[in-house]
A and B are shown apart, each in its own frame.
Chain A
Amino acid sequence: MAREPDFAADLTHPILYEEEWDRITAVLDAFDNTRPSHIAVVADPFAGQNVLMEGILRRHPDRVIHIPFFSVVKSKDFLTQMTGHNDIVVMEHCHFLAMRKIGGFAMLDAFLDHLSTSERLFVTEWNSFTWSYLRATRHIDTFFPVTIELPGIDSKTLKNLILSRYTDEIEFIDDAAPREEPILSAQHRTVKLPFSQKTVTIPVPHLREGGTGTNGIHKADPEEAAFDKIIRIADGNYGVAERIWDRSLDGKTVRVADIPDVPCAINLDIHESFLLTIILSMESVSMVDLAEIAGPEINLKQALFRLKNQGLVVEENRYFQIRPGALSCVKGYLTRNRMVW
C-alpha cells in the first residue's frame, strides 16, 4: 500500500523543500570552478534534509564526491577522499566535525583549511544547533556564501506528502471534543527578507472570521483537523510529523483524538541540560563521545537515565538521540535557558 516518494527524480511529485532545491540547483548550475559559492544546508534534526542531498547525488552522479559522516570524526582521512576530477563535494552530517570540548575543533579547522584552498564546490549539511554554535564561536558562516535554512512545513504540505504515499483511501475520524477557536490567535508565516535570500518566520495576528461556526466552535474537516494537530505537535518538522503519522495510523483509519500529544514538562539540572544540548546538536551520539565531552564532573549514567526517564532521549545500540516526539519541547526548553542559541 505504501510507496516511498521519489523527490529528486520526479519533480512533478509534491516535493519537500522545493524552493530550497531550486536555490541549490541554481548554484550548482552556475558553478564554473573560479569562485565556488559553497553551500550550507542547515536544518533541525529529522527535518528531511537528506532529500536534498540525495537529490544532488541523483542529479549529478558523475560530478559528486559523497562524504557522509555517521559519528564524530577523529581523523583527517576524509580529506584524502577528495581526489579525482569530480568538482562537487557533498558532505552530510558535518556537525560531526566538531566536538564541544577543549581541542575539539581540530577536524573542523582542517576541513575549513582544505575548503579555503579547494577549487571544488562544497555542499554541506549541518544540524541547525551546531551551526548556530559554530557561527557564534567560529564564524563558520563566513565560509559558506549560500546558507539554506530549511523552514518548517505547513499542514497542507504535510497532507500532500503523506497522502501521496497511499493508493487506498484513508479514513479520518474527528472524535476529539470540539474546541472553541480563539477570537484572536497567532499564525506563523514565512516571509522573505527584502534584498536578501533569507526567510524568517513571523507570528501574524489572526482574527476569527464570523463564518467558522456558531460561537466560533471549530468544525473543521476531520482530515484537516488531523494534519493541523500533527503539524502543531511536530512544530512544522517533517520527520517528526511523519513519525506521529505512523503512530496514529491504525490500519486505514486515523482518529484525531488518538494522535499522541505528549505534555511538555522538563526538569533538569545544568549537567543534564548540557548533555541534552549535546545530543540535540549532534543528533546521534555514542556513549564514548558523550563521556569525552562531558568530562569527569558529570555522572553520565545518572544524567542519561534522567533524560531517558523524562522521555527526552532514546538509546539505540548505545547511541543516544532526541526522542522525535519531544523535539519541540526540548528545543523550547534549551532555547529558553540559553543553552542553544
Chain B
Amino acid sequence: MAEITNLSGDVSQVSSAIPDLDLIITIVLIFVGAYLIVKVAVFLLRRFSEKAGRYRIAVTMVIPLLKIIVYVSAVYFVLKTIFDPGLTELALFSGLFGAAIGFGLKDIFADIIGGIVIAFERPYQIGDKIEVSGTYGEVTDIGLRATRVVTPDDSVVSIPNYAIFQEPTASQNSGKTEMMVVIDIFIDPRSDGNLAMDIVRDSLITSKYVYISPKRPYTVLLQDFPFYRRIRGKAYVNDLRSEFEFSSEVTRRAWGELSRQGILPPPPARVPEENAAD
C-alpha cells in the first residue's frame, strides 16, 4: 500500500514537471493569431494602398506601427498567461531580460528598438525610396528586425533596423508619392544654350510622368564646363515608382528635339568621365 502511495507521489511530480498542454496551446494560438492578424491586415492595407493613388504611402505607413502593436500585445498576453506577473515577478523578469540582452540578444534587441524608432519617428516609410549603407531602393517592408529594400535591379536587400542609429539615411520622397528627379543632358559647348534649355523645359513639363504644383516646381539650369555644357532639369515624377521611366522619357524626347534643332552632344572624347561610366 505504501508503495502505491509512493508511486502516485512520483506521478504527480512528473506531471508537474511537464508544461501544461493547455498553456502551450494557448501560447501557440496567441502567436499564430498575432501572425495571422498582421498578415491579413498587411495584405488588406497593401491592397487598399495600391488603390489609394497619391495616398499610397500614407496608408502603408500604418503597417510597421500595426506590427509592433500586435506583436507587443501578443508577448504581453503570453507573459500574462504564463506568469500573471505581479510587481516582484515583473522586476525579476526585467532583470533576467536585461541579462539576456547583455549576453546574447544585444543586436536583435537593437534591431527591435530601431524598428520601434522607425515606426514612430518615421525617418522613412514603406513605399519610400531610400539610401542606407550604400543601398538605394524602394522600402517594401519594415519588420521588427530589418527593413527590406528592393533595388532598381530587383534585388531584395535586408537592412538591419539598428542601421538608422549608425548610418545616415536619405529618403528621396519623405513619405510623399511624388519625388524629385534630376536629369542631366550634356551638349556641345558651342550650342545655343537658351534653345537647349527651352527644349529640356518642354520635355520635362510635357512628360506623362511629371507632377508640378506651387510646392513642387520644376527648374532648368545651364552650367558651362571647359569641354561641354550641362543642361540640368529638375522636376517631380508623379509616382516615385516611375523614376527611371521619367528620366528615360525626358532624355529620349529632349534628344530627339535637340538633334532636330542641330544641337549636338559634346565630342566623345570630352564626355565627363563620371557620366561616361554610367
CB contacts (< 8 Å) of A136 on chain B: these are 212-214
B249 to chain A: closest residue by CB: A297
Contact B178 A101 (CB under 8 A): no
Q: Looking at chain A's contact residues, is the secondary structure mostly helix, strand, loop, or mixed? A: loop
Residue pair A338, B206 in contact (C-beta under 8 Å): no
The CA-CA distance from A337 to B177 in the complex, in Å, is: 10
A338's contact among B54, B249, B253, by CB below 8 Å, is which? B54
Query: B212 — which chain A residues lie within 8 A by C-beta?
Result: 136-137, 341
- Interface pair A102/B199, CB less than 8 Å apart: yes
With contact pairs A337-B54, A338-B53, A341-B211 given, residues A102 and B178 touching in the complex (Cβ less than 8 Å): no
1/0 contact string of A234-275 vs chain B (CB within 8 Å): 000000000000000000000000000000000000110110
CB contacts (< 8 Å) of A338 on chain B: these are 53-54, 177-178, 211, 238-239
Closest to A339 in B: B238
Q: With CB as the reference atom, state the residue of chain A lying closest to B205.
A: A137
Q: Which of B54, B205, B208, B211 contacts A274 (CB 8 A)?
A: B208
Which one of A137, A336, A338 has the greatest number of beta carbons of chain B within 10 Å? A338
21 residue pairs A–B, Cβ–Cβ below 8 Å: A101-B206, A102-B199, A102-B202, A102-B203, A103-B202, A136-B213, A136-B214, A137-B205, A137-B218, A271-B208, A277-B208, A295-B253, A335-B53, A336-B53, A336-B54, A337-B53, A337-B54, A338-B239, A341-B211, A341-B212, A341-B213
B257 contacts partner chain A, Cβ-Cβ < 8 Å: yes
A102 touches B206 (CB 8 A): yes
Chain A proximity of B215: nearest CB distance (Å): 10
The A-contacting residues of B in range 180-204, CB under 8 angstroms, are: 199, 202-203
Decide if B228 is an interface residue (CB 8 Å cutoff).
no
Taking the nearest CB of chain A, how far is it from the CB of B178, in angstroms? 7
- A339 and B177 CA atoms in complex are apart in Å by 13
Q: Which of B39-75 contact A (CB under 8 A)?
A: 52-54
A105-148: which residues lie under 8 A (CB-CB) from chain B? 105, 136-137
Q: Is B242 an interface residue (CB 8 A)?
A: yes
Interface centre among B177, B208, B254 (most CB of A within 10 A): B208
A331 near B: Cβ within 8 Å?
Answer: no
Bound form: Cα–Cα A329–B153 in Å: 35
**A residues within 8 A CB of B202?**
101-105
Q: Mark B229-250, 1 if CB is under 8 A from A, else 0.
A: 0000000001100100100010
Interface: A66 (CB within 8 A)? no
| A100 proximal to B (CB < 8 A) | yes
Alpha-carbon gap, A102 to B211, bound state (A): 17
Contacts of A274 in B (CB 8 A): 208
